[in-house]
Structure 1
Amino acid sequence: MSRNRKSGTVTILPNLEIIDIAEEGKGVAKADELVVFVDKAVPGDVVDVRLIKKKKNFAEAVIEELHTPSNYRTDPFCQHFGVCGGCKWQHMQYDAQLNFKYKNVEAALQRLAKVDTTSMEPILGSAENKYYRNKLEYTFSNKRWLDKADMGDQDDLELNALGFHVPGRFDKILDIQHCYLQAEPSNTLRNQVRGYALRTGMTFYDLRAHEGNLRNLIIRTSSTGEVMVAVIFAYAEQSEIDGLMEYLKLNFPEITSLQYIVNQKKNDTIFDQDVITYAGRDHIFEEMDGLKFKIGIKSFYQTNSAQAHELYKITREFAGFKGDELVYDLYTGAGTIANFVARNVKQVVGIEYVPTAIEDAKFNSAMNNIDNTIFYAGDMKDILTADFIAEHGKPDVVITDPPRAGMHESVVKRLLEMEAEKIVYVSCNAATQARDLALLKEKYQVARIKPVDMFPHTQHVENVVLLTLIKD
């Protein structure tokens, strides 16, 4: 039905049952033939919804009234839930989250790759679903997100913020008081940095005008207890930089690596920026399975350390190494998987686009006395050529862990040409993984499937698939 308000015509759809949850984390309902995606809805809810966007075959909506709450519902534990862009599934019980992640992977593989999922293995949940991340990046802003309580007299209102972007608003930052994603000293560090900046009059970055002293704050922690802090400045004087750095050094002796970057570009990427170490090392160490890994401010490392260990153990198990295999590790990053499996095989050849990641991979091999790895930096489709394979040998096993976009079609074609006995495909996007599996079906069959939850309270899920070469 519809009803009129002073602001115009508002469409209300009454008594909709939420029947599913979409990959982006919104509840799914149907009104006749119209598919409705409902923000913050949980399967099993019965709700009235207000449409906020309507297309030909689907609409987006928000809950106007919750008539019957789902049995899967639970109270969100974070005060920022609903505005912050993270942890969008906090209002759903964790067992239910795992169930729907499993179903989303299953549906993608069935629909897009026509894979038989009857033997799909149970999803592996995360032992910790709070304080599980080892890295967070916060943004400074002089125009924080204002909620309804702030909409009165704004003359004395503090508008500076240090926190996360509000979804859909690149220029609005939600000022975070307590975040449940990263363990201490993360929250204390962030709040103390904000407090210092406000006391000393340092300016927070203006995301539209591109001016201000303070731009970003990155905090990395490790399972070994080490802490890395990097402050990204924009237009601060050196005396201001030194002041904040010295404050952190004196007040947080647990910081292992204290660094800063001056970034005056109009984007936040730091990979092309110089990093200055103010105190301590320029890196921290992570440990996994008896191996040490060097982590720099620009290094790629799975952000859920404990669950990454489980993911890599599954990858190794799926490969079923006997000890004499030549392994290609595609999209190797900092060589974490390559070094993790190296002691179980004859040799690992790792390929990665980012040169600094390859330097980390080589360092990690040397640090762990691993001498059977070789790493190459460059675009996968340019490096993985017939000549490359002729030089290094045909692999027995290929491990591939591409970005969300999946593998380039030319890389898939090269895999089909190589005809390795096994491919272990690790993916953070079941849809693009399914697209690639559909192409690989020409010569490979799916032998095992196991989802792994790396990011509790979000819609994201990793999936590991074992492919075996079809024999004539």
Structure 2
Amino acid sequence: MDAKGVARLSAPITTIDQLDDNCGSDDAMTAFDTENGFIDDVSLDQATSHNHKKVIFIRDALPGETVLYQTVRRKKNFAEANLIQVLKASSIRTQPPCPYFGVCGGCSMQHIDHQAQVAIKLKVLEDNLWHIGRVKAAQIMPPIVGLPIAAQIPQIEFAVGDRSLPHYIALVVRILAPLTMDDETRLKQFADNHPVQIWLQIKNPEDAQLFYPPAAKLCYTLPEFSVTMPFKPIDFTQVNHPINRVMIRKAITLLDIAPSHRVLDLFCGIGNFTLPLARKSHAVVGIEGSQSLVDRALDNAKFNQLDDHTTFFAKNLFETSAEDVAQWGAFDRWLIDPPREGAYAVAKALSILHQARFQGLPEKIVYISCNPATLARDCGELVHHAGYQLTAVSTINMFPHTSHVESIALLTRPT
């Protein structure tokens, strides 16, 4: 504490405990629109201060800082504010590498040291698990990290394939009128100069067609599993290929796959996990809500000569019932990789079957999440009502410098 009673951050934040232990609080703030405040906690791209027991969420502020902020929204128990000036900087604050930081709206954590970013995301995961799901993991695994994508900080949305191929980046251009000859010439010149693939979308995204160059290919590889994944730029894929490879390896390691195992892959997409799982197990069933993605997964299984070990079908997994799960049959292992909405219907179905003493529940489940809140909710259901233990969790820094939190969790049934 200094003479005014304001605590100072004495060391860089590198662990979860330090995020709490190194931060103090100070409620000596005025009621004017522009105020001084001391930051006592942080969550992704905003931090918190306190003023007369009201939480103030201040965007871009960091723990241990004294800042000048302007309140932009007031509620009964909290307020939101924008950072005006950093009066005393945190030791984890760094110079954003992108000159457009704070303008374009992307990569909102560039001003935070990379190690601190990882620690903050892990803290967010643990906080969500406890406050929402009322669960704690038996083990916090080391985060999966890397900065191959972050060094370039891409902010235009495009599809990235195998870098060993020419024109491995694809841009989808939505057009509202037919291209003129001059349009076509200029697009081809752009593709040759950079080089990229150009896809044209006239109506819906799934209708996008390759325009130039006509023989361009788009794929990514999983060398550890001898898998090549052709895809279209409108398909959902993980753009950070090195981290995706590590994530798949980690998931399969946690599942402890045996050659005799039957594995269920829910929200399977184009087969990102399904096909590597098929290399290690007896058979894999992939279920996906989109028929077009199921078709792409079937094509990829055939392309990799894994169609004899895989089965795919379409099903709205947000409406999964206990009867559906029982009809799918018994599987040794499950992998769940849902969108942000999570997989609550699936978790609830497992709870019902557990309480009915159904014998076909998987011994291990690996849950890949892109939303720590829904992961926490679903883990809470599985732990408190379906007989599972939350054995291990960690974060996957799939999108460095952003507030996106990707997570992996292992749930096991006691034997």
Q: Distance in 2 between matches of 1:250 and 1:76?
A: 32
- 1:238: Cα distance to partner? 3.7
Q: Matches of 1:124 and 1:246 in 2, distance apart? A: 39
1:372 partnered with 2:309 = yes
- 2:107 counterpart SS class: coil
Partner of residue 279 from structure 1, selected from 189, 194, 213: 213
Determine the C-alpha separation between the residues in 2 that align with 1:237 and 1:448.
53
- TM-score of the superposed pair, with normalisation by structure 1: 0.74
How much has 1:385 moved relative to structure 2? 6.3
Q: Pairwise mapping of residues 7-406 of structure 1 onto structure 2 (< 5 A)?
A: 11-14=33-36, 16-23=37-44, 25-117=45-137, 119-128=139-148, 130-131=150-151, 180-182=152-154, 218-225=158-165, 226-252=168-194, 254-255=195-196, 257-263=197-203, 270-271=205-206, 273-281=207-215, 283-288=217-222, 289=224, 290-370=226-306, 371-381=308-318, 386=323, 389-390=326-327, 392-406=328-342
* 1:159 counterpart residue number: none
Q: Provide Cα deviations, 1:97-156, integer angstroms capped at 9, x if missing partner.
A: 11111111111112222222352122222243524xxxxxxxxxxxxxxxxxxxxxxxxx
The one-letter code matched in structure 1 to 2:413 is: L
Q: What number of residue pairs does the alignment pair up?
A: 373
What's the counterpart of residue 439 of structure 1? 381
For structure 2, the residue ranges without an aligned partner over 5 or more in a row are 1-28, 354-359
- Report the Cα offset of residue 228 of structure 1: 2.3
Q: Measure, in 2, the Cα distance between the counterparts of 1:352 and 1:439.
A: 22
Q: Do the aligned residues in 1 keep the contact of 2:57 with 2:81 (CA within 8 Å)?
A: yes
> 85-94 vs 42-51, which deviates more?
42-51
Deviation at 1:369, TM superposition (A): 1.4
In structure 1, the gaps of 5 or more residues are 4-9, 132-179, 191-216, 264-268
User: Over residues 326-369 of structure 1, what are the superposed CA-to-partner deviations in whole Å (9 max), with x where a residue is unaligned?
Assistant: 11100001111010111111110001112221122111111111
Identify, as 1 or 2, the structure richer in strand.
1
Q: SS of the residue aligned with 1:66? A: strand
Alpha-carbon spacing, 1:219–1:352, altered in 2? closer, same or farther (3 Å): closer
Contact preservation (8 Å) 1:282, 1:296? no
Deviations 1:428-451 (A, max 9, x none): 111111101111112111112122
Q: Cα gap change, 1:313/1:276 in structure 2, threshold over 3 Å: closer, same or farther?
A: closer
The CA RMSD measured in Å over matched residues stands at: 2.4
SS at match of 1:113: coil
> 1:459 deviation in Å?
1.7
User: Quick check: 1:258–1:281 contact (8 Å CA) kept in 2?
Assistant: no
1:458 to 378, 394, 402: 402
Whether the 8 Å CA contact 1:229–1:259 is kept in 2: the answer is: yes
CA–CA separation in structure 2 for the residues paired with 1:415 and 1:94: 38
Task: Report the secondary structure of 1:317's partner residue.
Answer: helix
Task: Tell me, in whole angstroms, the C-alpha distance in 2 between the residues paired with 1:381 and 1:88.
Answer: 31
CA distance in 2, matches of 1:35, 1:62: 14
Give the SS at the match of 2:263: strand
- In 1, Cα distance between the equivalents of 2:280 and 2:254? 13
